[in-house]
Chain A
């Protein structure tokens, strides 16, 4: 029983760290992750840890635990395959093994892996797919480091307790330990050490560990909209949306959750920067570099929108950086739109307003009619406009949001031998009708399974319970701090009562109060007494002025000898003198530390 009592703090610490990790993760992912997955993760972790601790505390050898767990996992995996099943066994097996290790000897670092891994799921949620955690994630990582230090300390405390009681050969029964004198103010150095170590470990881990994280990319949900435009509008997809299809994350044991909305860039598909300026235009004829198109360009029809289908079908052929750099894609043109409303080419690639309608020059894409989309069988044609007045246009400064890697084999628009003749000539380019489907193109990658990375949790969604948790922890810390700060006040009130009781007290009690004051002063100076030590012996040992006199009066009181008012006066004088004399020998730091000491004597 005593062994269980000895192990209790360690087991509790392990459970607290684990449960806190699970709660944090649940809070962070409550709205985005499948409830079933979370519940199974909880079940596997808790059940496994319970089994592991039970086996560990009943002294079952680790290899036997491992075999039992392995057998259970094999049996479990024999059942019909499902993501839930995998999650359960993936959490149960390590939870059992590492819980059993946590109560064993030496392997505390290894034992901490499972709780740490659960914490990491939450922490990595805050990395945005990069190896640098944001503020909350860094703080959580630091907290994990502190939890590890606490775990190590609790484990060592248990080991010392076991060391004192468990041995192959008989051990002596420890009796009481008595402190006679201690240096005053030692609490200050301990507090400094605690703070220093905590800060070092906190900072070190939060700073250094992320340097070693490895970022991986993975397929994500096919329809993800993170841009302002969302799925509205035509033309090529927003880069933000495409980038999400290439989300990245930091690798971890469990592959669900964690993936964040990191914009890693998409190098395979052309996209457009959906800046707030684009709102009005909603995309445009895209031929080359969309970011050269302004709202006015769209309104005037110099830039028109290509849909993803257009791009896929080759109706819109996009300029490459190289082409833009070489100047061959200054003006784009439609290679074929057909339809009645075939709009002018979005020669936006060149940016300079281009000659969208004319489709002259360059190998860029162009378009001729907005109505082309409506045609099922478009026939490429070109008819120069009769009149055209180029608008005044100043190209904006180009700041590429994402630098796609230049293609090795740039896709060049086919050069028609003869200019295409548009079926319907228009004097002014007409913007095409908005396209309904502007979803980004599907990738060839398989769709993520339920256990694959989920869509990133929205900040507001994740922060709901987290805020409550943070507030709760902050309240606890504040309460402790308040309690700590109130100690001087508490001491002051206590000493005031010892000197001048707040209520009527007997003479004997007053004498006892004064003696208590002496003890407080002596404790400030580092002297401690025991219940076995007589007051006079204590007084002789300390050698502080006034203590012996106070002890003599106290002895008389204890032996029932009458104590009158004069004695009380003498006691007060002697006690005050002893209190002051004891404290005079101490340093300022020690006196300051005494203000926050409890118990006082």
Chain B
């Protein structure tokens, strides 16, 4: 189990080994330098100060050594470097304070200014005391021995776009005096990050932390555990982080309202209008329309009325309505989305699922028997799965929609049926990769990425005069700015890569349908010219 290093300030995704030597060295070296310099001084008083500082250093080093041995012996987390993590105890502020103190002491010897010596002694003393205290009271697994940390995302089964909350329950976490508990985590891959800080007044208490995660993204989510650590109230030290509180939650999709769905039904799409066709004299044709007062009740088509949940009457000069059965297929075959750091793949898939369910629902409401088809994970393997779509009461379909994710295995032709059943394919990248996809019974609905996904920002230019974040925030640190800059560039490049993967050859798909957002926020199907 990887233990991330939060640098005492949290939220920084640096690798555990990055700069570990420097961080651990900063615990011992500054105070040792001060001690050695003071001990070598000819001045008796300075020598005395060196002895006192040396005593403090020895106490601190002994405490840390004890924790190091203890962690290596227990090895509860099974990591060979666990002992070293016990030594990585100074936060960024603590390191800065320790080195500044040494510089102050050196400068005080050069200039003779008493204030510098006071600051040097203060800095080293506070760092040594805080380190000793933290190692003694919160080192090893002391804070977590009796701890029960649970995390829940509520509602456990939510609906896409509705507010989502995170509840973290802590019981029995020992937070010694002068320390704070920090916790941070991200419930979803591209979601917001939650951060908590709890004071020592909640030590061994039962408490619940809550934060608003914003609109719920569709999917079956497995939230990675929270990262927890303790830090002292002076901001100088931190303990090594642990991870607790994994949880799962489901967010079902919210079907979009799709306009113009009747267009997808081919010949039956204009069932409200008469159309010339050649039939045998005995076959007859029917036109159906909604019942209006004054119609002959004998013309009521009871089956269609039941299906449409309203009275339908037939007129004797029409062809039968659209095909009674439609398979709505969601093409979720795309291989490399896990490698992409941008949010566009998830956003596009969410829209595709919404359109997929929306089309199915709209068709079902017209009386068509709809079957939803896509590839889902079943027992660790991707396979084709089908679910019926009913006009109402579609909890099953919603759960089915929540399971949808990009998958690298089941190609589109595996999802399509060999029969001549009308099939509507919802895809972001229509392609002709098989006979079945070119069949006449297949109708394409293209969900273009550039209409439905947000563009990733290119790193903004940072003013050379003004800090990008509030003064005092750790986000202003050069290392973090560089990391963030690199992340944004990668995200932008991944977004470009995704755009290439989902590029549409519009000419080749003339006559297919494209799903666009209309002014009312609904999905509108338009024919590709």
A: residues with CB less than 8 A from B are: 3, 7, 10, 56-61, 64, 103-110, 112-113, 116-117, 119-120, 123-124, 131, 141, 144-145, 148-149, 152-153, 155-160, 162-164, 166-183, 186, 189-190, 192-194, 197, 200-201, 204-205, 207-214, 216, 250-253, 526
Check if A209 sits within 8 Å of B121, measured CB to CB.
Answer: yes
**A56, A124, A163, A190: the one within 8 Å of B201 (CB):** A190
Q: Decide yes or no whether B79 CB sits under 8 A from chain A.
A: no
Other-chain contact of A166, B104, B202, B232, B473 (Cβ < 8 Å): B473
Is there contact, CB below 8 Å, between A193 and B178?
Answer: yes
Residues of the B chain whose Cβ atoms lie less than 8 Å from the Cβ of A171: 192-195
A180 adjacent to B206 (CB under 8 Å)? yes
Which of the segments B106-114, B264-272, B388-396, B446-454 contacts the partner chain? Answer: B106-114
**Chain B 171-214 per-residue mask, 1 if CB under 8 angstroms from chain A, else 0:** 00000011010000000000011111110111111111111111
- Checking A107, A193, A211, A251 against B111 with a beta-carbon cut-off of 8 angstroms, the contacting residue is A251
How far is B197's CA from A520's CA once the two chains are assembled, in angstroms?
Answer: 27
Docked-complex contact A108 and B115, CB < 8 angstroms: no
What is the chain A residue whose CB lies nearest that of B105?
A212
Q: Which of A56, A60, A163, A176 is B10 in contact with, Cβ under 8 Å?
A: A163
In the complex, chain B residues whose CB is within 8 Å of the CB of A106: 92-93, 96-97
Report how far A153 CA is from B235 CA in the complex, Å: 7
Q: Does B83 contact A (CB under 8 A)?
A: no
User: A113 and B119 in contact (CB under 8 A), knowing A108-B93, A148-B126, A180-B207?
Assistant: yes
Number of A-B contacts (CB under 8 A): 263
B252 at the interface (CB under 8 A from A): no
Q: How far is the CA of A582 from the CA of B234 in the complex (A)?
A: 36
Complex CA–CA separation, A539 to B209 (angstroms): 22
Measured CB to CB, the closest approach of chain A to B127, in angstroms, equals 9
Q: Which of A107, A155, A177 has the most C-beta atoms of chain B within 10 angstroms of its own C-beta?
A: A177
Contact of B49 among A182, A208, A214, A251 (CB under 8 A): A208
Quote the shortest CB–CB distance from B13 to chain A (angstroms).
Answer: 10
Q: Which residues of A contact B472 (CB under 8 A)?
A: 7, 10, 103-105, 155, 158-159, 162
B484 and A177 contact, CB distance less than 8 A? no
User: How far does the Cβ of B82 sit from chain A's closest Cβ, in whole Å?
Assistant: 26
Instruction: Specify which chain B residues have a CB less than 8 angstroms from the CB of A57 in the assembled complex.
Output: 471
Is B101 an interface residue when CB atoms closer than 8 A count as contact?
A: yes
Segment at the interface with A among B282-290, B297-305, B459-467 = B459-467
Mark the stretch among B344-352, B407-415, B474-482, B517-525 that contacts chain A.
Answer: B474-482
- A164–B205 CA distance with the chains assembled, in angstroms: 22
**Given A105-B477, A205-B125, 19 additional A-B pairs, CB 8 A:** A107-B96, A108-B97, A109-B97, A109-B100, A109-B101, A120-B115, A153-B233, A162-B474, A163-B197, A164-B195, A173-B211, A173-B214, A175-B210, A177-B210, A181-B205, A183-B205, A214-B108, A214-B112, A250-B114
CA A292 – CA B165 in complex, angstroms?
A: 92
Contact A112 B235 (CB under 8 A): no
Residues of A within 8 A of B165 (CB): 175
Q: B160 at the A/B interface (Cβ < 8 Å)?
A: no
Q: B243 on the interface (CB 8 Å rule)? A: no
Contacts A105-B476, A171-B192, A252-B115 given; indicate if A209 touches B122 (C-beta within 8 A). yes
B178–A177 contact, CB under 8 A? Answer: no
Q: Once the chains are docked, how many angstroms separate the CA of A159 from the CA of B8? A: 11
Contact B210 A176 (CB under 8 A): yes
Q: Name the distance in Å between A371's Cβ and chain B's nearest Cβ.
A: 52
Chain B residue numbers with a CB within 8 Å of A250 are 112, 114
Closest Cβ of chain A to B483, distance in Å, is 9
Q: Which of B55-112 contact A (CB under 8 A)?
A: 92-93, 96-97, 100-101, 104-105, 108-109, 111-112
**11 A-B contact pairs sorted by A residue (CB < 8 Å):** A3-B470, A58-B466, A106-B96, A123-B114, A175-B210, A181-B205, A182-B206, A208-B49, A213-B45, A214-B108, A216-B112
Known contacts A105-B474, A106-B96, A167-B11; A212/B49 CB under 8 A: yes
Within the assembled complex, what's the spacing in Å between the Cα atoms of A110 and B205? Answer: 37
Complex Cα spacing A107 to B474, Å:
12
Cβ 8 A contact of A182, one of B123, B204, B473, B474: B204
Given A104-B471, A209-B117: A170 and B192 within 8 A (CB)?
yes
- What is the CA–CA distance of A306 and B433 in the complex, to the nearest angstrom? 122
User: Is A148's CB under 8 angstroms from B122's CB?
Assistant: yes
Q: Which residues of B contact A197 (CB under 8 A)?
A: 129, 178
CA distance A205 to B204 in the complex (A): 34
B360 within 8 A of A: no
**B122: which A residues are within 8 A, CB to CB?**
109, 112, 145, 148, 201, 205, 209
Residue of A nearest to B205 (CB): A182
- Of all chain A residues, which has the CB nearest B108? A212
Q: Identify the interface centre among B10, B115, B470, B474: most chain A CB within 10 Å of its CB.
A: B115
- The answer for the CA separation of A148 and B205 in the assembled complex, in Å, is 31
Q: Are B471 and A178 in contact (CB under 8 A)?
A: no
Whether the Cβ atoms of B115 and A172 lie closer than 8 Å is: no
The CB with the most chain B CB atoms within 10 A, among A141, A153, A164, is that of A164
Choice from A64, A144, A170, A194 contacting B118 with Cβ under 8 Å: A144
The answer to whether B118 touches A116, judged by C-beta atoms less than 8 angstroms apart, is yes
User: What 8 pairs across the A-B complex have the smallest Cβ distances?
Assistant: A251-B112, A156-B235, A193-B177, A212-B117, A214-B112, A211-B49, A182-B205, A172-B194
Given that A189-B177, A190-B201 are known contacts, is A149 also in contact with B126, CB under 8 Å in the complex? yes
Residues of B contacting A252 in the complex (Cβ-Cβ under 8 angstroms): 113-115
Shortest Cβ gap from B486 to chain A (Å): 12
Q: How far is the CB of B106 from chain A (nearest CB, A)?
A: 11
Q: How far is the CB of A434 from chain B (nearest CB, A)?
A: 44
Q: Is B323 an interface residue (CB 8 A)?
A: no
| Residues of chain A lying within 8 A (CB to CB) of residue B11 | 163, 167
Contact between B466 and A59, CB atoms less than 8 A apart:
yes
Instruction: List the A side residues contacting B456 at CB < 8 Å.
Output: none
A168 contacts B484, C-beta separation under 8 Å: yes
B115 near A212 (CB under 8 angstroms)? Answer: no
With both chains docked as a complex, state the minimum distance between the C-beta of B383 and any C-beta of chain A, in angstroms: 35
Least distance between B335 CB and chain A CB atoms (Å): 27
Q: Which residues of B contact A216 (CB under 8 A)?
A: 112
B319 part of interface (Cβ distance < 8 Å):
no
Residues of A contacting B209 in the complex (Cβ-Cβ under 8 angstroms): 177
B52, A208: Cβ atoms under 8 Å? yes
The 8 Å CB contact of B166, one of A109, A172, A190, A213, is A172
Chain B nearest CB from A309 CB (Å) reads: 37
For A160, the closest partner residue in chain B by CB is: B197
Q: Are A209 and B466 in contact (CB under 8 A)?
A: no
Closest residue to A530 on the B side, CB-wise? B208
In the bound complex, residues from chain A placing their C-beta under 8 Å from that of B475 are: 166-168
In whole angstroms, how far apart are the Cα atoms of A194 and B53 in the complex?
Answer: 22
B3 at the interface (CB under 8 A from A): no
Q: CB-nearest residue of chain B relative to A174? A: B211
Asked whether, in the complex, the Cβ of A179 is within 8 Å of the Cβ of B205, the reply is yes
Q: Is B48 an interface residue (CB 8 A)?
A: yes
Is B159 an interface residue when CB atoms closer than 8 A count as contact?
no
B476 cross-chain contacts in A, Cβ below 8 A: 104-105
- CB B85 to nearest CB in A, in angstroms, measures 21
Does A251 lie within 8 Å of B192, measured CB to CB?
no
Instruction: Give Cα A116 to B122, complex, Å.
Output: 11
Report the minimum CB–CB distance from B413 to chain A (whole Å): 39
Within the complex, what minimum Cβ distance (angstroms) separates B195 from chain A? 5
| Distance, CA A170 to CA B467, complexed state (A) | 18
Please encode chain B, from 16 to 34, with 1 for each CB lying within 8 Å of some chain A CB and 0 for all others. 0000000000000000000
**Contacting residues, chain B, for A186 (C-beta < 8 A):** 200-201, 203-204
Across the interface, do B202 and A182 meet the contact criterion of CB distance under 8 Å?
yes
Q: Check B178–A116 contact: CB distance below 8 A.
A: no
B365 at the interface (CB under 8 A from A): no
With beta carbons under 8 angstroms apart, the residue of B118, B466, B469, B484 that contacts A120 is: B118
Closest to B203 in A: A186
Q: Which residue of B lies closest to A121 (CB)?
A: B115
Q: How far is the CA of A399 from the CA of B198 in the complex (A)?
A: 66
B414-441 Cβ-contact flags toward A at 8 Å (1 or 0): 0000000000000000000000000000
